[in-house]
Amino acid sequence: MEADFWHTRWENMQIGFHEGDVNRMLAAHIGALGLKPGARIFLPLCGKTRDIAWLLAQGYRVAGAELSDIAVRQLFEELGTVPEITDHGTLRAYAAPGVTVFAGDIFALTPDLLGSVDAIYDRAALVALPPDMRTRYTTHIVALTATAPQLLITFEYDPAIMAGPPFCVTFDEVSRHYATQYRITTLANLDVPGGLKGVCPAREMALHLTPL
């Protein structure tokens, strides 16, 4: 899936994937990560998610990566803060107290630029990528974060009924990508109310990935 696909979605505000409130799995299971106040959580492909405002309100610090400058600008507008903006090669960093989001290609983000993180919250990244990009992504995330623990949200559904994104990513696939680095535990596996996009019966899973 090319970057132009996502740029076009944001330019046309075709953002049905954007949730207007905190994700139910995050609110229910953030405690599984065992984080202390002030811990820094990385959100890959974060869009302008309301989860960031919720995490900040819980006393955490947030780092994010997002392809679209439009999404990042709207995020800070909705947070009600004016970020300091700096360029780092092909990436642009938007920073305000407690939160830094890098706009651009996540594969251009380096560990030095990101800085240390205590955990990863992946609600919209792995499920947004087609199969041929997922191995590259998961390998990059492990290297980028020094195998930080994860709260990972995925969906399971019949791909014959609906084409992603969000794509169907099963527990077995998560294991293929991450089992050599993490112990993977299912925290929840629930029906998606009304079906995914209102058309496809689906299950939403919250997985806890603990470094081995």
Binding residues for S-adenosyl-L-methionine: 10, 45, 66, 123
Closest by Cα among 185, 183, 190, 184 to 205: 190
Take residue 76 and report the two structure tokens written for it.
């800070």
H or E element, residue 142:
helix 131-145
Contact predicate 199/161, CB 8 Å: yes
Report DSSP letters for 10-29, one per residue: HHTT--TT--SS--HHHHHH
CA distances from 208 to 173, 185, 194 (A): 15, 5, 25
CB 110: neighbour CB atoms within 10 A? 12
Rounded Cα distance between 52 and 58, Å, is 10
Annotated binding-site residues read 10, 45, 66, 123
Contact predicate 79/96, CB 8 Å: yes
33 DSSP 8-state letter: G
**Residue reference for tokens 């991450």:** 178
Rounded Cα distance between 52 and 75, Å, is 9
